[in-house]
Every structure is written in structure tokens, then in C-alpha cells.
Structure 1
Amino acid sequence: MEKNFRMLAKTLYGLEELLANELRQLGASDIEIGVRNVAFKGDTGFMYKVNLCSRTAIKVLKPITGFNVFTEEDLYKRIYDIPWENYMQANGSLAVDATVFSIQFTHSQYIALKTKDAIVDRFRDKEGIRPDVDLDHPTLRINIHIDRNICTVSLDSSGQSLHKRGYKVENTIAPINEVLAAGMIMLTGWSGQCDFMDPMCGSGTILTEAAMIACNIPPNLNRKEFGFETWPDFDVDLYEVIEEAALKKVKDFHFKIYGSDIDAFTLRKAKENIKSANLSEFIELKEQDFFESSKETDRPLWMVFNPPYDERISVNDIEKFYGNIGNTLKREYPGTQAWMITSNMEALKYVGLRPSKKIKLYNGKLESKLVRYEMYEGSRKFSKQ
């Protein structure tokens, strides 16, 4: 029986607890929560499973060695001494990502270049040929992490970031990251228990992630490749067993998921993305101005949306825009739990409603808040009786 090994899953700020819970439910052991990452143990099959099934992981790294490093020469020598021929062939390709938190080492790109040089030189010295560099689709993606004087060398089992699910064929201005979208939905507590709506749906990312959560569809089912698929020890039969087992856990969804946007061109893009994800039967789209809309049923409604911040998408009168959000929720959406994310804290004040919860997140580099507004049927006092 294969022995479990240590792995590290990277995530976005604020999603660490969600990721740890996901890993726990998937079957990980020895879970340790860090900042933007969670360490855990599992076997090769579990590594495949996390890449396929985790909604909040961005990368799954497999550390292969660690050592103290004090100079660039130390780094070069220690990297050179690693038996890279066990992990790739000389005629393959590689890419190196580096992160550094150190007084001695301050330039991550230089560290990545030094690492690449050491690996290439080893192959050239031992086999007479050298691997190429391919930043997009390498045979092997390597991660170097230097914290003060401790260097950890890992293989990147994911390849491209796991937020690239594979279903998005059309993009809009300022699309939300798929991992952030899934994490937001999970943070709200929605898992398919009622109707769901995104009234400013853009390219449809929040709607697509919501449908996959409701139906328990593996989020990375549509990806064309994972990093581990080009490793010499890739077990395709084992991966197919993992995938088949995950698909058996897909379930029916008995409520409605609604999406709308004021822009017809944007809505067409959302439709194409949802179709690409094979989720058209679960999601109803409508060209509509949210400020002229109202709740269509008496059933409870969960709303999650990402309005413009007046950053990448400009708004003529951002205060009025956010004021209209509050007015529309208050007047037209009773029985709704409404969540929205924004980085515009000043505009948020104009919503005119008191948020019952605030969660700090980052949308790209923008510090943001995910806020909840509870729209009760009738007065709040009446609704609690």
C-alpha cells in the first residue's frame, strides 16, 4: 500500500478554512492551516482527487526536498544535485515558479532563473541534451519557496492554476476568479437548499460555480490537463477510477438558478460559458436591469453578486448606483439573503442597509468585503415571531 506524503494546497486569502474543510471531507489527514495555504497528507490517488474535486484550491504542490540556503551558489548546487531525471526526460520541458520571503534572496524571478539553470546544466552534463523552457504547458512545473534560509522544492501537480476550470470560452471586463466565486458561495452557506440568483452575472462565473456546487459536480471536470498527467509515474487507470467515483456523487438539483445582466452582449458570453460547462438546463438567463426587477416567486431566494467597483468597470455615479442596489433589495426582494462583494468601501455606505455580516477577501489585488443583507418578509420584528 502506498505511503501518504505531505502536500500543500494554495488558496486565496480568506478561503483557508473552507479549503481545510474540503480537504477533510475528501479524506485528507494531518491538516494544518496556513496563510493562503493548507498543508495535508494523502497518497497519489488523493492528489489526483484534490485537483479534480477541490473548489477552493489554486495549486496542489508535492514537496520533494528541503534544505538551508544562504547564497546563490548554495541554491544552484543543491538544485543541481536533485535527481531530476527521475521526474522528467531531458527532451521534455520545464517551468519554474518561485516565491521568496528572505533578506538574502529578494528577486523571485532571479531565483527561478537560477533554478532553471541548475536543472538544465545537470541534464546537459549527464545526457548531452537539455530540456526546453515552456511557461504554458511544460512537462514539469517546479515550485521554489524560500522562507528566510529554508528552501522547499516542490512539483506542481496542478499545472495551470486550478481557477482555470476549462469551461470558460468567453471573457468579459473584470471577470471574477472561479475559485473566488466558488469560495464566496460556500462562505454564504448556500449549497443548493433554495433558489439562487446573480442579478449582475457578467460572464456567468458565479452562476456556473453555484450550479456545480448544487449538483456536486467536480469543479475541474472540464479541464484539459493537470500537471501530474505528464509525470513519469502518472497512473491513468487510477485517475479514471478517481474521476468515476467523483461522478457517482453528482446529485439532482430541485430549485432554480437565475442570472441576469443589463448588457445583451455580456449575457451572450455568459450563455456560451454555461453551455460549455454543460449546465444550461440548471441556469435561466434574462436580459434585465436589476434596478427594474423584482422577486418572481414567494420561495426563499439566495442572491450572490459582484457589482462594479468603479475600478476596471467605471460607473457614472457610483454612490447612486449603490443606493439603487439597496433600494431594489429593500422594495423588491423580500425573503432574500443577499450577498455582494466590493472593494469600494465608500460606495458601500450608500447601500443604506446594515450588513449582518462582513468577510474580508481579495478580488485580485483589491482588498474587498463580502457583505450580507437579510431582506425579511415584512418587518424584521415580524419575521422573527
Structure 2
Amino acid sequence: MENFQIHATTLSGLEELLAEELRGLGAKKIVSQKRLVTFEGNKELLYRANLWCRTAIRILKPIDSFSAYSEKELYQEVQKTNWLRFIEVHNSIAVDVILTNSTFQHSLYIAQLTKDAIVDQFRNHTGERPSVDLKSPDLRIVLYINKNKVSVSLDASGQSLHKRGYRAQTHTVPLNEVLAAGIVLLGKWDRSSAFIDGMCGSGTILIEAAMIALDIAPGFFRKKFGFMNWKDYDKELFAKLLGEAKRRRRSTKSLSLMGCEVNKKTCGIARDNIENAGLSKFIRVFNKPFEFFEPRCSSGTLVMNPPYNARQKTSQDLGEKYKMIGDTLKKNYAGFHAYIFTGNLDAAKKIGLRASRRIPLHNGSIDCRLLYFEMYSGSKDK
């Protein structure tokens, strides 16, 4: 198969994790940039990346690049691409535009202009034009414009890859699955010892951890990817890759994953999502507060995403909640690796423990940290 350039987008702070995942899949000439990893591969790798990359948001196939200094020039350059190579007149399209330090100011207008250039080309050649479907198009086109440099790509993923397909319900502020997987992968969990989420919400971190330990492809539950609508889609090749993914799953591995959630309704949602992922055998969720949960093991990994009042609301004073977390860690989790993901560093000071690592991450636009606390048994000096 012919090799070509491929781009994988991700969240800030997860670039090196994504590069490592792609390296493991056989990608070549890997280059990490901010929220982006570029690499070379063939059609099979494009499919594998969509199926297996836990920390990727989208997989893109660049098809053109050019400079444009005016709207007229942008329109003319887009029309130079032979769009009939990629879609039929009866197909639907959508255009996404990302602007960085550009003289173009309005992404929605640039998207409209790009769409006009494409449909006008069809109208001139066939007398007909493809339709526009912003939600579920047959072909999603992505323009990335940095200053006056324009990169045009086809979106091979379709829906964002964080939409795994197992989550039927969420609580009010669900954690992005890609971010949850990144948090697990950044930790020191050995994928066999105890794993606990002290405030598990709708169960995302627990599910992602179990899928990592059991070698379940994150895209396995999805019914559709963008590349399935491409004219060169190889159905037999993707069926082969799905078969490989099914055989890799370690269904008999002994795991101990536990979570606790104080809200009864949210706890029920977590259990439903875990069941949808086929992981009820490996994950138990308890409807109780973190401070009253007993781990029943002397070591393991604890991960928590407590409220931090930026997106999540809590009736308890935030300082008191974080102090409770610290007190509970000292009381019940000696011998554990503890990871607290938070967007409120002032509140995190109330934990009362010194973090060994402070890993910068983002939850949407919120600047966050993954704090690592090594909970020693007895004195650290022993």
C-alpha cells in the first residue's frame, strides 16, 4: 500500500502519549506539535489509528496545501482540487475551519466560502451539486489556516474519537473519554493491581482503565467512521482489523476496578455505561461517599476527578472537600499511587500533601493539573 501523510489531533498535554501509541501501531516519521501529531502511513494504518488510538480526537488525511491572502484567492485555490475524486454528487459534505493568527477573521464565513467553491465545481461539471449536512456528512473537510498557509484535509474519523459508543448516559459534567484515557496512561498503574476511582461520576475513568488493561480497542464499539464513506473504502480490510481487535481482547484477565459515587442517580448511570461496555464483570461501583469507602487492599492506584467549581457545582465547601480528600488518603490509602485531576489549584492546596508530579493538562478551556501523590506506608525515610 502507498504511504501518505496523516495527522492526528489530540488534547493539550497528551501529544507524547499519542505519538507513542502511533509508534506502537507502526507509524513512521512521527512529529509532535501542539495538540497535533503528524506521521506517515498507509490506508491500513489510517484505519488502525482510528480504531486503536485512545488519545486521538480526530485522524485527518491532508490532500492539499497552499497560501491564500484573500477570500477570492482561497476560493480559487479550493477549486483547484478535483473534488470528484472524493465524493459523488449525491453525497453530503461539511466544512470545519480552524484559524490561527490568520488575516481571515470569521471561520464560519470561510467554511461557507469553501463549501461554495466545492459545490460550484460540481455544478460546473455535472449540473448538480452535493448537499450540506453539518451533523452527519458523507465527507467532512477540515481547513487549518495558520496566518496565510492553508492545509486541506479529509476527516477520517467522522464523529470525534472520544465518542467511543459505550456511553448511553452521563451525569451533568462527563469527563471526555480521551482525557480519561490520558489520565490513566500518564499514571503508574501496572494494569493488574487494584484500581480505584474515588469520585467516579458516570464511570468514564474506570471504563477507560479497564479497556486499557483488557486491550480493548477504544473504537471497537463505534458503528461508523468517516473513512467508511470514502470512495476508496476497503470494507474487507477494516473487517480484518476488527477481527484482530476482537481476538486481542483479554476477556479472562483478573482485574479489580472499583469506584464510589455519592449521587445515587449518577451511580446508576455509571453502572449502565459499564454494562454497555461489557465490563460489569471487572468493575464494581458503590453508592457511597469517598471518605466512607474502604479499599480492602494494601496497595494499588487511586484516581480522582473531584469537583473544582469551574464546570462542576458542589454543595460542600470546596476547601473542606479537598481537605477531606487529603485526610482520607492519609487514613486509608497508605501504599497507593494517588492521582488527583483538578482545575482548582488553590483548593488542591487544602489536600495537605506535597505532590511528587504536577502534569499540565486541559479540560476544555480550563487549565488543569494531574497531581501525583505517593502514599508511603509508614515513614518515607524507612
Shorter-normalised TM-score: what interval? over 0.9
Match of 1:114 in 2: 113
Match of 2:284 in 1: 284
* Contact 1:192-1:253 at 8 Å conserved across structures: no
Q: CA deviation at 1:191?
A: 4.5
Amino acid at match of 1:32: V
1:64 aligns with 2:58: no
Match of 1:365 in 2: 365
Distance 1:103 1:217, change over 3 A: closer
1:161 aligns with 2:160: yes
1:188-203 equivalences under 5 Å are: 188-203=187-202
Q: Deviations over 1:307-348 (max 9, x none)?
A: 000223222311011000000000111111110110111101
* Contact 2:188-2:301 at 8 Å conserved across structures: no
Distance 1:40 1:312, change over 3 A: same
* Contact 1:88-1:140 at 8 Å conserved across structures: yes
The separation in 1 between residues aligned to 2:313 and 2:11, in whole angstroms, is: 25
Q: CA deviation at 1:352?
A: 0.4
Bigger shift: residues 12-21 or 189-198: 189-198
Q: Deviations over 1:154-193 (max 9, x none)?
A: 0000011100001110011111000000001001132413
Q: Deviations over 1:18-74 (max 9, x none)?
A: 000000011100101111010001100110000000000000000011111111111
2:274 is paired with a residue whose SS is: helix
Q: CA deviation at 1:376?
A: 1.4
Amino acid at match of 2:287: E
Match of 1:311 in 2: 310
1:137 is paired with a residue whose SS is: coil
The separation in 1 between residues aligned to 2:277 and 2:190, in whole angstroms, is: 18
Match of 2:37 in 1: 38
The separation in 2 between residues aligned to 1:11 and 1:105, in whole angstroms, is: 24
TM (norm. structure 2) is: 0.97
Amino acid at match of 2:276: S
The separation in 1 between residues aligned to 2:186 and 2:101, in whole angstroms, is: 33
The separation in 2 between residues aligned to 1:175 and 1:379, in whole angstroms, is: 38
* Contact 2:189-2:300 at 8 Å conserved across structures: no
Distance 1:122 1:191, change over 3 A: farther
The separation in 2 between residues aligned to 1:102 and 1:143, in whole angstroms, is: 17
Q: Deviations over 1:177-228 (max 9, x none)?
A: 0000000100113241311010111000000000000001001111121000
Q: Deviations over 1:328-377 (max 9, x none)?
A: 00011111111011011110110001111100000111000000111111
The separation in 2 between residues aligned to 1:103 and 1:67, in whole angstroms, is: 14
Distance 1:283 1:255, change over 3 A: same
1:117 is paired with a residue whose SS is: helix
Q: CA deviation at 1:104?
A: 1.9
The separation in 1 between residues aligned to 2:318 and 2:226, in whole angstroms, is: 43
Match of 1:269 in 2: 269
Percent identity at matched positions? Answer: 44
* Contact 1:294-1:333 at 8 Å conserved across structures: no
2:157 is paired with a residue whose SS is: coil
Amino acid at match of 2:358: K
* Contact 1:295-1:334 at 8 Å conserved across structures: no
Q: Deviations over 1:264-316 (max 9, x none)?
A: 11011001111111111110111111112232123x21011110002232223
Match of 1:257 in 2: 257
Q: CA deviation at 1:380?
A: 1.6
* Contact 1:19-1:54 at 8 Å conserved across structures: yes
Task: List gaps (5 residues or longer) in structure 1.
Answer: none
2:59 is paired with a residue whose SS is: strand
Task: List gaps (5 residues or longer) in structure 2.
Answer: none
1:80 aligns with 2:79: yes
Amino acid at match of 1:29: K
1:222-261 equivalences under 5 Å are: 222-251=221-250, 252-261=252-261
Match of 1:15 in 2: 14
The separation in 2 between residues aligned to 1:120 and 1:160, in whole angstroms, is: 23
* Contact 2:220-2:245 at 8 Å conserved across structures: no
* Contact 1:49-1:243 at 8 Å conserved across structures: no
Q: CA deviation at 1:249?
A: 2.3
TM (norm. structure 1) is: 0.97
Q: CA deviation at 1:81?
A: 2.1
Bigger shift: residues 44-53 or 111-120: 111-120
Match of 1:218 in 2: 217
Q: CA deviation at 1:250?
A: 2.1
* Contact 1:173-1:312 at 8 Å conserved across structures: no
1:233 is paired with a residue whose SS is: coil
Bigger shift: residues 10-19 or 191-200: 191-200
Amino acid at match of 2:103: Q
- Aligned residues, how many? 380
Match of 2:352 in 1: 352
The separation in 2 between residues aligned to 1:152 and 1:3, in whole angstroms, is: 21
* Contact 2:188-2:337 at 8 Å conserved across structures: no
Match of 2:46 in 1: 47
1:192 is paired with a residue whose SS is: coil
The separation in 1 between residues aligned to 2:123 and 2:195, in whole angstroms, is: 57
Amino acid at match of 2:375: M
Amino acid at match of 1:90: V
1:248 is paired with a residue whose SS is: helix
The separation in 2 between residues aligned to 1:167 and 1:365, in whole angstroms, is: 25
Amino acid at match of 2:212: I
Q: CA deviation at 1:244?
A: 1.6
The separation in 1 between residues aligned to 2:358 and 2:167, in whole angstroms, is: 29
1:329 is paired with a residue whose SS is: helix
The separation in 2 between residues aligned to 1:244 and 1:37, in whole angstroms, is: 29
The separation in 2 between residues aligned to 1:253 and 1:152, in whole angstroms, is: 44
1:339 aligns with 2:339: yes
